[in-house]
Chain A
C-alpha cells in the first residue's frame, strides 16, 4: 500500500518538476511575448498544481495530516494564474508588443479598426 502511494506521490512531484522545466524552456525559446506567455501561464500552472497535489498526498497518506491549505492553494492557483496570464498578454498587446513576424492573423487589430470606423 505505502509503496504504491510512494510511487504515485513521486510521479506527481516529478511530473510537476518536469512541467515547470518545460515552462522555463518555453519562456527561453519561444519567439514573442504571446507564445512565451502561453508557455509560462499554462505549463507552470499545471506543474505547480501537480507539485502541490503530491505534497498534499504525502502529508495526508504518509503522515495522516489533512492539510486543507494546500487544497485551497491548488484551487487558488487554478483560478488566478490564467487570469494573470490573460492580463499580461492584454497589457502587452495594448502597449504595442509586436507579434511574431510569421504570424498570419490578428483579429483584434481588425476589430479595433472596425471600432474606430463605427464610432
Chain B
C-alpha cells in the first residue's frame, strides 16, 4: 500500500527553515553565548536529515546538488588557511586577530578571524555527518 506523506512533508517544508535559521544563529552567536561551529553544523545537518526523512534521497539531491565530501574538504581548507594566514603577519601559527569595523547596516561590529576557523568547523561537521548518513542510506 502506498503511504501518503503529505502531513510530514508539509510540516518539514515549514520546520526546515526554522531549524536552519536557528543553526545559523547558534553558529554566529558562538563567541559570546553557548553555540559555535560544531553545534551549528550538527543542527544544519539535522535539518537536512529531516528533509531526507520526509522526501527521498533523489529529491534532496535535486534540491541541494552538493557533494558533501567537497564540503568537508573546503571546511578543512578554511581551518588550515586561517591558521596559516597568521604566518604571513610574522606571528605563530593559529594566532587570531580582531578589530572593530563600521559596516553599512550593522554599524560598529567586531570581526574576528576565529569566525573563519569556526566556518571551517561548521562545514566539516555538515559534510562529515551528511556523508555518513547518505552512505548508510543508499546501501540497498
Interface residues of A (CB under 8 A from B): 69, 72, 75-76, 79-80, 83, 86-87, 90, 94, 112, 115
Contact = CB atoms under 8 A, between A and B. Distances in A.
Interface stretch (B6-14, B41-49, B89-97, B108-116): B6-14
B: contact size bracket: under 10
Contact of A83 (B3, B8, B18, B22): B8
A115 B3 CA distance: 13
B14 A72 contact: no
A87 B9 CA distance: 12
Contacts, number: 21
Interface of B: 1, 3, 7-8, 11, 14-15, 18, 22
A76 B18 contact: yes
Contacts of B11: 79-80, 83
Contacts of A90: 3
A15 B7 CA distance: 30
Contacts of A75: 18
A87 B8 contact: yes
Contacts of B7: 83, 86
A112 B22 CA distance: 41
B1 A115 contact: yes
B15 A112 contact: no
